[in-house]
Amino acid sequence: MESKRQQKFNKLIQKEMGEIFQKEGKHIIGNAFITVSRVLISPDLSVARIYLSFLLDKDKVTFQIIEEKKGELRKHLGNRIGKSVRIVPELAFFMDESASYAQHMDKVINSLDIPEDSEEEDEEED
C-alpha cells in the first residue's frame, strides 16, 4: 500500500514527465506521441518506475532512445521539481502494454464464433 506522500509524488512526476515529453523532449522523441500512463515511486522516493504508452510511432525504437537519454530526462525533471524534493529520483522506464493487450483481447473476442440462442431452445427447456 502506498503512502499519501508516494501517491503525491507519483502524480507530480507523472504530470511533469508528460510535460517534459511534450515540450523539452521533442528533440529526443520526434513526432512520437507518448503518454505517461502510470508512475510508481519507491518508498524511499529514490526510484520512479515510469510506464509509457506510445502512439504514432515505432514504440521499440523510441523506447530505446528514451532509455539512452534517461540522464537528460532526469535533468529536465530535476529542473522542474528540484525545489520540491530532496532527491530527484532515478528514472526506470517501462512499456505499458495495456493498450496493445486490450486491442488483442478485443480482436480475440470479435473472432469468437458463438452461436446465438434461439427462442425455440428456450421454449424446449421450460
pLDDT of residue 49: 96
60 belongs to a structural domain: yes
108 belongs to a structural domain: no
Range of the domain at 45: 4-97
CATH number for the domain that contains residue 20: 3.30.300.20
29 belongs to a structural domain: yes
pLDDT of residue 126: 53
- Reduced to 3 states (helix: H, G, I; strand: E, B; else coil), residue 49 is strand
C-alpha cell at 19: 510535460
28 belongs to a structural domain: yes
What are the residue ranges in the chain where pLDDT is below 50? none
68 belongs to a structural domain: yes
pLDDT of residue 59: 65
pLDDT tens by residue, 40-66: 999 999 999 999 988 765 667 888 888
Q: What CA–CA distance (Å, rounded) separates 59 from 53?
A: 8
112 neighbors 68 (Cβ within 8 angstroms): no
* Phi and psi angles of residue 117, each rounded to the nearest 5 degrees, phi first: -70, 135
pLDDT of residue 98: 74
Global pTM exceeds 0.85 = no
25 belongs to a structural domain: yes
| Number of domains within the chain | 1
Q: What CA–CA distance (Å, rounded) separates 73 from 55?
A: 20
Q: What CA–CA distance (Å, rounded) separates 81 from 16?
A: 8
52 belongs to a structural domain: yes
